[in-house]
Amino acid sequence: MSGCNLGRIDRYILVTAGVAFLAALFTLTGMVWLTQILRRFDLLTSQGQSIWIFLTITSLALPTLLLLTAPIATFLAITYTLNKFGGDSELIVMSASGMSPWQIFKPLAIFTAAVMMVSAFISIHFGPLSVRVLREQMSAVTADIVSNIAQPGRFATITKGLTFHIRERDANGILRGIFVNDSRDANATTTYVAERGKIVNSDAGIFLVLEHGTMHRSAPQAKNASMVEFERYAFDMSQLSGGKATESRASDRPLSELLNPEIKMDDPAAAKLEESRIRIELHKRLSTPLYPLAAFVIPFAFLGLPRTTRQSRGGSMAGAGLVFLAIELAGFGTWGFVQRNELAWPLPYIVPLSAIIPAVLAATGLVDFSVPPSIQKYIDAINARLQRFETA
């Protein structure tokens, strides 16, 4: 076969897999994104934000969603492509014309490498950047609610466990008669009462600066409450974008900071917890590109070899799906081990590699994982009987 014909076949395989991948990716990501849109719909209904702010905030979640859906879309695209070639007897024709399985493997490997590179770019750079921008946007939205939208004389719940009240708002943005009740911490409730305050946007973040007030703190187990008077107190609005700052710091950090983290915390327990979060985030980003590779080689090992039309491909598709599902579930389960024990860091890499290495060996013909003929005979008989029922 000439190089020109081989090039056309390569392009044919790439286009078939690419179109199937984009269709699966847009469908899966759109379905998950819809849940984010519904969850953030209160930005329009109760928080008075514009449609542009609403679309900006919901769109910033797309890079993270793409990392979740890209391996699944890759698996579906490769499975569809190989099943189509097998069902139309194209694999048999390619094999009869002298093409080896490797020549079919190569264009699909190029396609998967492109998916891996995009996943690596999103995981290492673009994803953390979108998370940081998302938190900044949510902080700005919260500050806008406090300074412009919250109606004087009414109690407004900014987020779960945080209630805000102002007596009046001046034309220059000064808030008077401020009351803030913060019960987000299950161990203590803090109440701030101040004569006046103002939203201040600085390089360090967005703050509600309270003046001439008191801070009351009480705990359910404590018999006595504490009270502190202050002249000025800066209430950090940035922490309202997604929980406490310590809980989201690792996902905001660029890769360079994850490789050489600087943890500046006085509490040893909090510092240890942050260290474990950084460790999880680092290995999550570095291991993410392995899952699209697993999503490619697993279905290829089951469906990449030519079969006659009498041989059922349903069992092979089901087997590939079960193996891929097991790898995905095991991958999610490794993060708990990595958090509890720093020696468990190889697990996020071992899980996908445990499927990639055997699947590559099977795809190259070095190992045979096919169903034994005695069992395949019964599977084919069951499928033939089911087909007769469908056509009856």
Structure-block tokens of residue 187: 């161990």
Dihedral sign, CA of 151, 153, 155, 159? positive
With CA atoms as reference, report the closest residue to 365 among 66, 11, 101: 101
Query: Using CA atoms, how far apart are residues 289 and 294, in angstroms rounded to an integer?
Result: 9
Q: From first to last of its 392 residues, what are the pLDDT tens digits of the chain?
A: 444 444 788 888 889 999 999 999 999 999 988 887 777 665 555 555 667 777 777 788 888 889 999 999 999 999 999 888 876 666 667 666 666 667 788 888 899 999 999 999 998 888 888 877 877 777 666 666 665 556 677 777 777 778 888 888 887 778 888 888 888 777 778 889 999 888 787 766 678 889 999 998 887 666 667 888 889 988 877 665 544 443 446 777 778 778 887 776 666 766 777 778 888 888 888 898 899 999 999 988 888 766 554 455 667 788 888 889 999 998 888 888 887 887 888 889 999 999 888 888 877 766 665 556 666 666 667 666 666 665 55
Residue pair 222/189 in contact (Cβ under 8 Å)? The answer is no
State the chain's mean pLDDT as an integer. 78
CB 198 within 8 A of CB 209: yes
| CA atoms of 100 and 245, how far apart (whole Å) | 55
Domain residue ranges of the chain, discontinuous segments joined by +:
151-242
Residue pLDDT, tens place only, 175-200: 888 888 888 777 778 889 999 888 78
pLDDT digits (tens, 9 = 90+) for 224-246: 678 888 899 888 776 655 444 43
Please choose, from the candidates 77, 72, 105, the residue with its C-alpha nearest in 3D space to the C-alpha of residue 91: 105
pTM beyond 0.75: no
Gyration radius from the chain CA atoms: 28
What are the backbone dihedrals phi and psi of residue 99, each rounded to the nearest 5 degrees, phi first?
-80, 135
268 burial (CB, 10 Å; 0-12 / 13-18 / 19+) is: exposed
How do residues 15-38 score in pLDDT, each as one tens digit? 999 999 999 999 999 998 888 777
Neighbouring residues of 149: CB distance < 8 A, sequence distance ≥ 6: 47, 48
Enter the tokens of residue 149. 């939208």
* pLDDT (0 to 100) of residue 327: 92
Q: What are phi and psi of 164, to 5 degrees?
A: -130, 140
Q: What pLDDT does 145 receive?
A: 62
| 256 contacts: CB under 8 Å, gap ≥ 6 | none
Three-point CA angle 300, 301, 307, nearest 5°:
85
pLDDT at 69: 93
- Count of residues in the chain: 392
- φ and ψ at residue 131, rounded to 5 degrees: -65, -45
The one-letter code for the residue type at 359 is: A
The pLDDT of residue 29: 92
What pLDDT is recorded for position 147?
Answer: 59
Burial class (CB in 10 A: 0-12, 13-18, 19+), 332: exposed
Residue 239, C-beta contacts closer than 8 angstroms, at least 6 positions apart: 245
User: What is the per-residue pLDDT for 148?
Assistant: 58
Q: How many CB atoms lie within 10 A of CB 104?
A: 25
